[in-house]
Structure 1
Amino acid sequence: MMNNIDKSKLVLVHKQSDTINDIPLETKEIGYYQDSWNRFKKNKASFVAFIIICFILLFVIVGPHLKNYNLFERSTVNAARLANLTPRIPFLEDFGVFDGTKTITVGRRYLLHMADPENEFGHGIILEGLPQELLDDPNHPDFVGIRSFTVKVDYYKYVNYRASYMPEDYYSILDEVNNGNSNLNPLAPVIRTLRQEQFDEYMAKNYIIDVRRIVQQQNPDAPGTFYYQYEVRLDQFKVSLDQLPEDTYFWFGTTGEGKDLFTEIWKGAAVSLTMAFWVTLINAVIGLTIGSIVGYYGGVLDLLFDRFVEIVSSVPFLAVLTLLVLRFGSAEWVIIIAFTATGWIGSYGTGRLQFYRFKNREYVLAARTLGASDGRIMFKHIFPNTLGLIVTGYALAIPSFVFTEASFSFLGIINYQTSTSVGMLIQRGQAVMQNHPHLLLFPATYIAILMIAFNLFGNGLRDAFNPSLRGVE
């Protein structure tokens, strides 16, 4: 059968005079980190988590400055007049969500006082739940013996009305006055004494509801001269926020101290994340430095450090934290020391294991044969191969610190004197969650989002920095 082939067809495809050239590469060379970034972007969940983390960090920076306000007086009594306001968010309030309303139980006489048609300050407070028959006839037989009603109110207007126009304990004090104790003034809790300059300023801004009394006082600095003091009742919202309740938006509500919860969460987040950064950085520097040296050289050095690490790791973290807090208080630097006293052991174990694993690979032996120094081998050849696991570990170390710090703050072990962490906000919210659930909802939601985002982000970084996946689609 071979004899039937036409020999004229058996010719070389390329004659000797032809030249075969390689086709030049049209794409640019992609470096290790560029390739890692390209792989990371393809992981949709991790990339979304990265965007969420960026937004959190942005709000940590700008959040405390978005809605600033200062109470005219930082005493507990006056600050509490704007306490526990419910969340009110623009646009969402049009759908009945976070609209600043609340269902509460109000005393009968207090309720009728607000709903009185002749009371110009009570309009628009009660939204639902007040029987029309009771308004038409306060002595209606169907409501005899009923001392309180559950109604839905505009909580912002209600709080301002209670704090500015009628104290919460108005009727109880008034009853005591009627029983003969004339020394008690039913309006005493909301009376302010102003000097002439402040009185003129508040009058111009329409802060003053009414003037109760004008008192002439002798000027001690200039004998023979006098000045006036004005006892007035003030609109708390106007004085504190320079706006009306219906124009006020606390996106996350207010705390029991009358502070904006939105601002407090981002201040607490800044405290927690800043401390997490420093703890992670210190643990990384100490743990990775020691672990890489011990793992690379091994031998006696490895044995000695292993025994030392066993001793340090046997000390309970809670005991270290408790002793430091009892001795030095709950300052930020004390908490950082407590978390780094034994926290570097995890970084040490990761560095030691990875360098021990890769130090005898073929490419390492080739580099050593070509005369590369130990430092170059460690940081040029071994370290990039361990980077994926290391970065993932530290990406997860940040939310781990935040969660642990929040847990101990919740338990009361960590109690900062000059700042408030998210864990402390959760602790306070848990105590009043039945009456004011927003104080627990928003801090807990922040912690949950942070934990999920950092876990997804860490998983994406692990795959992106894995050298074995380089070039894999």
Structure 2
Amino acid sequence: MAGQHQKNEPPKELFVSHERKENTTEMITKPSRSFFQDARRTFFKNKMAVVSIILMIIIILMSIIGPYFNEYGMDGQDLSRAKMPPRVPVAENIPFLGMDGTLQDEFKGSTVEEATENAVMRYDNAEDFVDIEVLSEGDGSTDSAEVSATYNIYEAKEMTDDYFWLGTDQLGRDQWTRIWLGTRVSLIIAFVAAAIDLLIGVAYGGISGYYGGRVDDVLQRIIEILSGIPNLVVIFLLLIVLQPGIMSIVLALTITGWTGMARIVRGEVLKQKNEEYVLAARTLGQTNGKIIRKHLMPNIAGIIIINTMFTIPSAIFFEAFLSFIGLGIVPPEASLGALIDAGFKVFRLYPYLVFYPAVLISIIMIAFNLIGDGLRDAFDPRMHK
């Protein structure tokens, strides 16, 4: 029986020792990310926002170093080179770019000769340097003939070796230099406005929302009074004391510009101050100031950053508007708004004086708005994937 039992035993090689392995089905294989890391990852997925940031970095750098790119950088006015159109090496050979250093316009008259005479008179009577192309010979009636005139002003002024990349203004100042100097001024005003929003608006709104009660009532009545005063009225009052310029614009933004941020921060603090993490901080004995700084502000940082990014283009537009109506930057100082105002007065004759600063201010405002949109999506948890 013992021999038979041994014959029925399975071979030992069929038995394999079992190794106990740890269950890894619920193991986290990747490091966890914080909210701000998720926000950064979502932001960099937004290609338009990333391109806008790169563009703004380039513009900021150019506002610092751009005025020193040519030999006319810090030259003053020179009437001998006034109203020179843009002329750029290599680009002057590409007609549709409009950087060949010529002035072009169409002129009318009862005859071709009269239209031609009008063109020559318009271009300093420099007949030898005005190329005429007849568009319509007319039938002898009033202004029925039309010619296209091209004025080679660089040749007429014997400046064939000079290049003004964006032309010159009515006083002969290099537009390339003035545009970047104006961009610098506009950006300084915009960033000062953003700093005022952060320093005053965030602190004011945080205190008002956190303490509530009588403190909130008093602080909100003050905001309502300030918000009821139009910015232009503030500017006019400041002009009685100060001259138009950066200081008056900054003071106007200081008086009324931060109220919007204060209201937004107050609303967010009112929502957050009754959350469990604030109650836990109070239970642990932390002071009110520390709760606001260490707990509430980081949790509403997203809305603060987003609102700040939208404040910057608003401040740039505000400065441009004031300069355009003569209440902002005063010549010879330059800002984008002041340059547009100066060019607008001679727009029909020298459109390039308006075109380049207008394009630049549009790019800056669009870029900041796209960055703000990207940040808004980045700080929205529903957009995180």
Give TM class, smaller chain: 0.7 to 0.9
Q: Which structure: larger Rg?
A: 1
Q: Which residue among 233, 238, 260 is the counterpart of 1:324?
A: 238
In 2 relative to 1, CA 90–110 (structure 1 residues): closer, same or farther, beyond 3 Å?
closer
Answer yes or no: is 1:253 the counterpart of 2:255. no
What is the percentage of aligned positions where both structures have the same residue? 37
Answer yes or no: is 1:152 the counterpart of 2:150. yes
Which amino acid letter does the alignment assign opposite residue 88 of structure 1?
R
SS at match of 2:151: strand
Conserved in 2, the CA contact under 8 Å of 1:399 and 1:451? yes
SS at match of 1:151: strand
Q: Deviations over 1:221-266 (max 9, x none)?
A: xxxxxxxxxxxxxxxxxxxxxxxx3332222111111111111011
How much has 1:19 moved relative to structure 2? Answer: 5.2
Q: Deviations over 1:98-133 (max 9, x none)?
A: 21122252159987x864xxxxxxxxx455549xxx
Which amino acid letter does the alignment assign opposite residue 103 of structure 1?
Q
Partner of 1:275: 189
Matches within 5 A, 1:280-429: 280-416=194-330, 419-429=333-343
Conserved in 2, the CA contact under 8 Å of 1:273 and 1:402? yes
SS at match of 1:246: coil
Output the CA distance in 2 between the equivalents of 1:151 and 1:396: 45
SS at match of 1:247: coil
SS at match of 2:120: strand
Answer yes or no: is 1:101 the counterpart of 2:102. yes
Which consecutive unaligned segments of at least 5 residues does structure 1 have?
1-14, 116-124, 131-147, 162-244
Larger CA deviation: 272-281 vs 411-420: 411-420
In 2 relative to 1, CA 91–108 (structure 1 residues): closer, same or farther, beyond 3 Å?
closer
Conserved in 1, the CA contact under 8 Å of 2:67 and 2:74? no
Matches within 5 A, 1:102-117: 102-103=103-104, 105-107=119-121, 115=128
How much has 1:357 moved relative to structure 2? Answer: 1.3
SS at match of 2:363: helix
Q: Please give the root-mean-square deviation of Cα atoms over the aligned residues, in Å.
A: 2.9
With normalisation by structure 1, the TM-score equals: 0.66
Conserved in 2, the CA contact under 8 Å of 1:106 and 1:150? no
Conserved in 2, the CA contact under 8 Å of 1:325 and 1:414? no
Output the CA distance in 2 between the equivalents of 1:294 and 1:40: 31
SS at match of 1:34: helix
Answer yes or no: is 1:88 the counterpart of 2:87. yes
How much has 1:62 moved relative to structure 2? Answer: 0.9
Partner of 2:366: 452
Larger CA deviation: 40-49 vs 369-378: 369-378
Larger CA deviation: 253-262 vs 305-314: 305-314
Q: Which residue among 264, 268, 272 is the counterpart of 2:178?
A: 264
In 2 relative to 1, CA 296–109 (structure 1 residues): closer, same or farther, beyond 3 Å?
closer
Conserved in 2, the CA contact under 8 Å of 1:294 and 1:352? yes
Output the CA distance in 2 between the equivalents of 1:279 and 1:373: 30
Output the CA distance in 2 between the equivalents of 1:415 and 1:285: 25
Which amino acid letter does the alignment assign opposite residue 104 of structure 2?
T
Which amino acid letter does the alignment assign opposite residue 186 of structure 2?
S
With normalisation by structure 2, the TM-score equals: 0.80
Which consecutive unaligned segments of at least 5 residues does structure 2 have?
1-16, 106-118, 135-145
